[in-house]
Amino acid sequence: MPEEPEVEIARRLIADLALGRRITGVDDADTFVTRPHSPGELREALTGRTLTAAHRRGKTMWCETSGLDGSAVPGPDLGIHLGMSGRIVVTAPDGWVAEGGDPAGRDAQPRKAEWDRFTLEFADGGQLALFDKRRLGRIMLNPDIGALGPDAAEVTPAQFRALITKGTIAVKARLLDQSKIAGIGNLLADEILWQAKISPATPVNRLQRKDVDRLYRALRSVLASALAEGGGAHTGDVIAARRPGGRCPRCGHEMVHGTVGGRSTWWCSWEQAARPLALRFAGQVAHNLDFGPQRQAIP
């Protein structure tokens, strides 16, 4: 998916190109994407309104809508979640198309019409569509934003410490828990843990204060650079090494693969080894003396 930085790109797309355009038609026939709404419910709720603002918390977006016929009473919020493969496609009146969201599917096959899972038609002839091959994206009225933790890009160090360290769950699973901190996905989590040199399987109650602080700094810098590079979670330094035979871009040791928190996880076998720091240090001495790592040039 679109993780937080890519969702932010999609939100800006909506904010820049879709606000203020009168909605004259709504295709809400895909009831899996629009669950729990029934067919026609979204059309009924949105036709005649305009989107007036685009917001985001974590990976959830929502648009405010105008009142009908100049009424001051606003309409319902339109919730948008891109799921695993969703993308926002905004078409201008002249047919010019802008996209934001999932980049993995971009440039692959030509877009099939049936992959547009939800569409707003505008009076000017353009449209806004949720394009989603896998169909795990979601459109709903008045989404419950309160169920999400603070946005990953806005959480403070003190909030972060409090939200992260409670319990015994693996730190990666906690980073992925949207009700604690909203916005971190599987790839970003691997990148953040790699930057912080922390094993993804570390129980959160075993993290020391300095580990948590390092994790927080890694979170901030990974999010900032992902957004600066156009939103892709793929832009992370370790993402390219997430494959069989991949090597750590810093130390050259092999990346290892496993499942943490039910998700596919890659980490550096050396720098993110799951053992106490003291043992790691002792191991490093032995390692360097006896069988120093074969460093590989990074392509």
Partner DNA sequence: ACTCGTGTTAGCTG
Partner DNA sequence: TCAGCTAACACGAG
Question: CA torsion angle for 202, 229, 57, 240 (degrees, to 10)?
Answer: -30
Minimum gap (Å) between residue 281 Cβ and DNA? 28
Q: Choose between 45 and 171: whose C-beta lies nearer to DNA.
A: 171
Helix (H, G, I), strand (E, B) or coil at 100: strand
Q: Choose between 75 and 231: whose C-beta lies nearer to DNA.
A: 231
Question: CA torsion angle for 211, 213, 214, 220 (degrees, to 10)?
Answer: 140
Minimum gap (Å) between residue 81 Cβ and DNA? 6
Q: How many helices (H) and strands (E) does the chain have?
A: 7, 11
- H/E stretch holding 122: strand 116-122
- The catalytic residues are 2-3, 59, 263
Minimum gap (Å) between residue 287 Cβ and DNA? 28
Minimum gap (Å) between residue 182 Cβ and DNA? 8
Q: How far is CA 72 from CA 19, 20, 68, 267, in A?
A: 17, 15, 8, 53
Chain residues that interact with DNA, rule: CB under 7 A: 1-3, 6, 32, 58-60, 81, 83-84, 102-105, 108-109, 115, 133-136, 138, 147, 166-170, 173-174, 176, 178, 185-187, 204, 233-234, 261-264
Q: Choose between 75 and 200: whose C-beta lies nearer to DNA.
A: 200
- What is the number of other CB atoms lying within 10 angstroms of the CB of residue 280? 15
Q: Choose between 168 and 294: whose C-beta lies nearer to DNA.
A: 168
